[in-house]
Amino acid sequence: MNKMENNAETPELLPHCLAHGIPYWSRVSPRTIASPIDRLPYLAGLIEHLAPIDRTLRVLEIGSYAGASAVVMGKALQKHHDGKARLYCVDPWFHPPYASCDFNSERLFRHNIAASGVDDLVVSIKGFSRDILPLLKPESFDLAYVDGDHSRHGAALDIRACMELLRDGGYLCGDDLELQHEEFNGLEVPENGSVAVINGTACHPGVTLAVRDVFGRRISAVDGFWAQRKTDGWQDVKFTRPNPDWITPLFSMQHESTARLLLRRIQKEQWTNVVLYGAGKHTQTLLPWLLKSAFLSVNICGIVDDAKTQGALCGIPLVSRDILSEKNIDAIIISSDAHENVLAEKAASWGGGIPVCRIYKP
């Protein structure tokens, strides 16, 4: 029997979130749902800088995908400018339906915006930035976030257009500036928007080149998030320490659902002893929700990770794969969204025929 035939999936998460008005942020084929979410609080931080402005704020986003950055900005705007803010989201949303259902990124964007309660201030504009931005009023925006086309040409075009659209004092910012130009050390890099690993860092060379083309210098950036302020030319920005409260509540509803659906699946299969595979951020986030469940009738015997075999997460020990021969393990649960496919294949090869349970459908 093909080992992968042993794979058990809990593909109900997306339909469950759609049916119950819960925002969905997990893996959707063929890509993950947002920029690394740790960066998003910096975006909320910039909006907080605009809090003293006593008039309707206008914010522009280029590249919204499923809405994670838009929701974080929307929440920050509601806190400081409730009823007096508009967030314009420009995206062609050309992504095809996901493998698991007929939802596409545009419908998921609308779902997430509504389910997160920010639909009152979001204005979605379907189209490519090159067609839409020329229609917008110059010097009318307070903040512009650039996260659309990541090619050198496309990103530079968007940055330049946003410079014209911002008022004096406004913030221009964007995602994916993991490296600055001088850090390429003269290496030839792709300009087409693809991700590359340069000197060990995964980065978006197109964005780095575009920033260099436009500003001609190193600019203020932190964890890949970059920003400049329009005041007497373009000035660097001091970032405030990111406040995780901007993202934790937004994602917790889904984590609770993920944990519930996974437990339901475990009970249905009558698995008693399981191990989690993967000790990364996904497990750190999900585990408290799994353990919180009062009716937890499963033993999470350990966490297997390719890089670590010592320590513990929420009291569950990190263990080696030897646990499979030492204990009667009923299933290996893949605890990762971004790397679910890879880990599932690996687990099928070392799991000795024990069922491999995926949480998300690839």
Ligand X SMILES: C[S@@+](CC[C@H](N)C(=O)[O-])C[C@H]1O[C@@H](n2cnc3c(N)ncnc32)[C@H](O)[C@@H]1O
Q: Rounded CA gap, 321 and 109, in Å? A: 40
Return the SS3 of 155: helix
Our finding on whether 246 is near ligand X (CB under 6 A) is no
Binding mask 119-148 for ligand X (x = CB under 6 A): ---------xx-----------------xx
**Cα–Cα distance between 276 and 283 in angstroms, integer?**
8
Provide the minimum distance between the beta carbon of 299 and ligand X in the complex, in angstroms, as a whole number.
37
**Sign of the dihedral through C-alpha 196, 200, 201, 207:** negative
Q: What is the CA radius of gyration of the chain?
A: 22
> Among residues 92, 44, 27, which one has the least CA distance to residue 64?
92
Q: Does 323 bind ligand X (CB under 6 A)?
A: no
Q: Is 156 helix (H, G, I), strand (E, B) or coil?
A: helix
Our CB check for ligand X shows the closer of 132 and 323 to be 132
CB of 158 to ligand X, least distance (A): 7
- For residues 74 and 154, which CB has a smaller minimum distance to ligand X in the complex? 154
**Min. distance of Cβ 181 from ligand X in angstroms?**
21
Interface size with ligand X, residues (CB under 6 A):
20
Distances (CA, A) of 73 to 46, 187, 202, 300: 9, 36, 26, 37
Q: Is the dihedral of CA 181, 224, 98, 75 positive or negative?
A: negative
Q: Could you say which of 68, 179, 237, 319 contacts ligand X (CB under 6 A)?
A: 68
Give the residue closest to ligand X by C-beta: 63
Please list every residue from 31 through 50 that binds ligand X, using CB under 6 A: 34-35
**Which CB sits closer to ligand X, 24 or 271?**
24
The correct pick among 62, 121, 279, 303 for binding ligand X (CB under 6 A) is 62
What gap in Å lies between CA 149 and CA 198, rounded to an integer? 20
Q: Would you say 316 and 286 are in contact if contact means Cβ atoms under 8 Å apart?
A: no
Question: Taking CB under 6 A as the rule, does residue 226 contact ligand X?
Answer: no
- Decide if residue 91 touches ligand X (CB under 6 A): yes
Does residue 30 have a cis peptide bond before it, meaning omega lies within 30 degrees of 0? Answer: yes
Lookup: tokens for 353? 């025929």
Q: Does 88 bind ligand X (CB under 6 A)?
A: no
Position 330 contacts ligand X (CB under 6 A): no
Distance in Å, CB of 98 to ligand X, minimum: 13
Residues in contact with ligand X by the rule CB under 6 A: 34-35, 62-65, 68-69, 90-94, 105, 128-129, 147-149, 154
